[in-house]
């Protein structure tokens, strides 16, 4: 079931009404409702893969309790590694089996040895990269004695399968989300209204920005040899907005939906395209994943402590694994590698924590220097996105070659802009302005309730809804569903 579907529009109010009108006085029943509705939500995509979520839930629930009760260090390690192997094993099999087999075969073919290929027709279960990481963080935190396990299986199952964030994050930490399932939840008007507002903004980002940009970015990326250098640049820029609108839009819808039920999820995007350097970008993009890798991979490897070689190793490790997490393709690995190359100089010169606050805080416009920094960082990320979007390394290099060709300075689309493209540029401009104005908040519209009267707010909401219904055509799935 997609968020941007009629099915979800029917599903959400039903669950909401039952949650707050039927079972509101009983936490266990509320949690049970969340589990059942989450399983239904997921099952609408493929009910057979519910077994994986249930399996992962039961394994980590059991291991969590055993880990807490066991003092024997060897046994604790065995339990931890069981959890890691089960979760990474599931992820590895469903996501990477064919990748490894294909590369294995190719490697041998280079040596002149032909192997009989045995690729499996494996369907990637939606959300597996997210919920496996979520449950893994639970067992790791218990192992490190940072967190106590829950004995309430319903609460734990609800934590693992919570439908707003099940299929594309944010990847929640047990310390943040699990206690919320054990607390009495009272309906909060302001929280619910804010949640709806965030959902609306999320839909705008997804339907108006991301899906509209996708039309052009897909057209250009899929036929890159037919376009000039300047048009290829535009295609890459459109993809940058597509992926941001798509993913951050999903996160906004997830967070907003969770708020309707009285839950607070972590912020997943903090206006990354206003970053002044790559380090800041990675503190603002897909925060739940980058902090996961920081806490469970980077820091255990030594982090930025130790000599230069350790720092370099750890930086490459985290970015390459992050790239690989996104998909079983060399393009994602190269994308991670490029970002590592961007990040490393900042780390080695101790400039990776220069810009901790939002740009131009308290000011209307950025300084000229900040503007150039923002622009430079954006261009670097767009360059890397080419690899993320391309189907293969050959396509990616071909795309870049096309950009840096003699047609680099040619007038794009021969100066003839279709009405749809003009409308899209207008929406992009509107979007960037709204995001800029709201950059100091958790999401762009958060301050709207404080800064404006009801008439203006409702008018603004209607404009957004009309813009959404104008652009709502195909029910395009979210990009990160494939991860």
Partner 1 sequence: MKLFIYKLILFVLLYLVIRQAIIYLVPYYWGNSCYLSKIKYLKESNLKPNVVFFGSSRIYRQVNPNLYDSIYFAHNKTKIESFNFGTPGNFPPQTYYLLNNFIESEIAQNCKLIFLELSNFINIDKVSLTQERVYYWTNLNFLILIIKSTIKRKDLSVDGKIEIIKNYINVFLKKVLGIGLFYDALKKENLYDELFLGPDKNGYVSLDYEFLKTSSEDLANRKKSLDILDLERRLKYASSRKEELNEIVDRVHLQYLYKMIENASKHGIKLIFILPPRNSSQILSNLANALPKNSVVDLSKNKDFYTLENSFDNGHLNSKGANLFTYKLFELYSQQN
The residues assigned a catalytic role are 326
Tokens representing 278?
Answer: 């790559």
In the 8-state DSSP scheme, what is residue 363? S
- How far is C-alpha 140 from the chain's CA centre? 22
Least Cα distance to 337 among 348, 351, 326, 350 occurs for 326
29, containing H or E segment: helix 27-46
- How far is C-alpha 370 from the chain's CA centre? 26
Q: Measure Cα distances from 357 to 276, 371, 442 in Å.
A: 10, 15, 13
449 binds partner 1 (CB under 8 A): no
Decide: 132 and 7 in contact? Cβ < 8 Å. Answer: no
Identify which of residues 6 and 107 has a Cβ nearer to partner 1 in the complex: 6
CB of 187 to partner 1, least distance (A): 5
Of 26, 264, 392, 469, the residue at the interface with partner 1 (CB under 8 A) is 469
Residue indicated by tokens 């990675």: 282
Identify which of residues 93 and 187 has a Cβ nearer to partner 1 in the complex: 187
CB of 27 to partner 1, least distance (A): 17
The C-alpha atoms of residue 81 and residue 162 are separated, in whole angstroms, by 25
Of 433, 470, 478, 480, the residue at the interface with partner 1 (CB under 8 A) is 470
370 binds partner 1 (CB under 8 A): no
In the 8-state DSSP scheme, what is residue 346? H
| Conformation bin of residue 267: beta by default, left when phi > 0, alpha when psi is -120 to 50 | beta
The C-alpha atoms of residue 298 and residue 281 are separated, in whole angstroms, by 17
CB of 17 to partner 1, least distance (A): 9
Least Cα distance to 352 among 415, 405, 293, 279 occurs for 279
Instruction: Please identify, among the stretches 1-9, 231-239, 244-252, 279-287, the one whose residues bind partner 1 according to the rule CB under 8 A.
Output: 1-9
455 binds partner 1 (CB under 8 A): no
Of 118, 189, 368, 409, the residue at the interface with partner 1 (CB under 8 A) is 189
Of 32, 54, 192, 299, the residue at the interface with partner 1 (CB under 8 A) is 192
9 binds partner 1 (CB under 8 A): yes
Instruction: Please identify, among the stretches 111-119, 148-156, 161-169, 189-197, the one whose residues bind partner 1 according to the rule CB under 8 A.
Output: 189-197
- How far is C-alpha 186 from the chain's CA centre? 29
Identify which of residues 78 and 193 has a Cβ nearer to partner 1 in the complex: 193
CB of 189 to partner 1, least distance (A): 5
Instruction: Please identify, among the stretches 71-79, 146-154, 188-196, 441-449, the one whose residues bind partner 1 according to the rule CB under 8 A.
Output: 188-196
408 binds partner 1 (CB under 8 A): no
Of 196, 299, 321, 393, the residue at the interface with partner 1 (CB under 8 A) is 196
Angle at CA of residue 343, ends 341 and 344, nearest 5°:
70
472 binds partner 1 (CB under 8 A): yes
Least Cα distance to 444 among 193, 190, 202 occurs for 202
Number of residues that bind partner 1 (CB under 8 A): 23
Identify which of residues 6 and 85 has a Cβ nearer to partner 1 in the complex: 6
475 binds partner 1 (CB under 8 A): yes
301 binds partner 1 (CB under 8 A): no
The C-alpha atoms of residue 34 and residue 27 are separated, in whole angstroms, by 10
In the 8-state DSSP scheme, what is residue 359? T
Q: Show the binding pattern over residues 144-183: x = contacts partner 1 (CB under 8 A), - = does not.
A: ----------------------------------------
Residues 18-77 that bind partner 1 (CB under 8 A): 20
Identify which of residues 218 and 407 has a Cβ nearer to partner 1 in the complex: 218
Write down how long the chain is.
483
The C-alpha atoms of residue 443 and residue 480 are separated, in whole angstroms, by 20
CB of 471 to partner 1, least distance (A): 8
The C-alpha atoms of residue 216 and residue 211 are separated, in whole angstroms, by 9
| Residue ranges binding partner 1 (CB under 8 A) | 6-7, 9-10, 20, 187, 189, 192-193, 196, 419, 458, 461-462, 465-466, 469-475
């Amino acid at each position: 079931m997609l968020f941007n579907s009629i099915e979800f529009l029917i599903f959400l109010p039903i669950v909401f009404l039952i949650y707050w009108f039927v079972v509101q006085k009983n936490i266990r029943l509320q949690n049970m409702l969340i589990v059942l509705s989450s399983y239904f939500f997921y099952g609408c995509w493929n009910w057979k893969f519910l077994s994986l979520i249930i399996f992962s839930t039961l394994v980590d629930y059991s291991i969590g309790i055993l880990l807490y009760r066991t003092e024997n260090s060897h046994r604790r390690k065995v339990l931890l590694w069981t959890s890691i192997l089960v979760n990474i094993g599931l992820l590895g099999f469903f996501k990477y089996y064919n990748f490894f087999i294909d590369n294995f075969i190719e490697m041998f073919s280079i040596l002149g040895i032909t192997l009989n290929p045995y690729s499996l027709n494996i369907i990637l279960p939606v959300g597996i990269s997210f919920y496996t990481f979520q449950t893994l963080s639970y067992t790791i935190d218990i192992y490190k004695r940072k967190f106590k396990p829950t004995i309430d299986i319903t609460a734990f199952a609800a934590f693992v399968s919570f439908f707003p964030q099940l299929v594309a994050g944010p990847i929640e930490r047990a310390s943040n989300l699990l206690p919320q399932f054990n607390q009495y939840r009272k309906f909060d008007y302001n929280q619910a209204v804010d949640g709806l507002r965030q959902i609306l903004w999320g839909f705008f980002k997804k339907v108006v920005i991301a899906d509209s940009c996708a039309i052009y970015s897909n057209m250009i990326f899929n036929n890159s040899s037919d376009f000039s250098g300047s048009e290829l640049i535009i295609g890459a820029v459109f993809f940058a907005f597509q992926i941001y609108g798509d993913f951050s839009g999903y996160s906004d819808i997830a967070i907003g939906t969770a708020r309707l039920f009285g839950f607070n999820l972590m912020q997943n995007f903090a206006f990354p395209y206003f970053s002044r350097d790559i380090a800041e970008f990675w503190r603002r993009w897909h925060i739940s994943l980058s902090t996961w890798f920081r806490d469970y991979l980077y820091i255990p490897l030594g982090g930025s402590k130790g000599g230069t070689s350790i720092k370099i190793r750890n930086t490459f490790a985290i970015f390459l694994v992050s790239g690989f997490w996104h998909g079983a393709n060399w393009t994602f690995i190269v994308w991670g590698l490029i970002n590592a190359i961007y990040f490393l100089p900042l780390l080695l010169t101790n400039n990776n924590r220069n810009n901790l606050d939002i740009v131009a805080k308290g000011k209307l416009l950025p300084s000229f220097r900040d503007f150039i920094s923002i622009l430079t960082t954006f261009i670097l990320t767009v360059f890397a996105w080419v690899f993320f979007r391309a189907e293969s390394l050959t396509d990616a290099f071909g795309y870049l070659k096309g950009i840096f060709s003699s047609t680099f300075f040619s007038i794009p689309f021969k100066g003839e802009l279709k009405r749809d493209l003009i409308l899209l540029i207008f929406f992009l401009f509107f979007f960037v302005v709204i995001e800029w104005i709201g950059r100091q908040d958790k999401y762009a519209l958060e301050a709207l309730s404080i800064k404006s009267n009801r008439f203006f707010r409702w008018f603004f909401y209607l404009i957004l809804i009309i813009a959404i219904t104008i652009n709502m055509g195909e029910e395009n799935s979210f990009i990160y569903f494939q991860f």
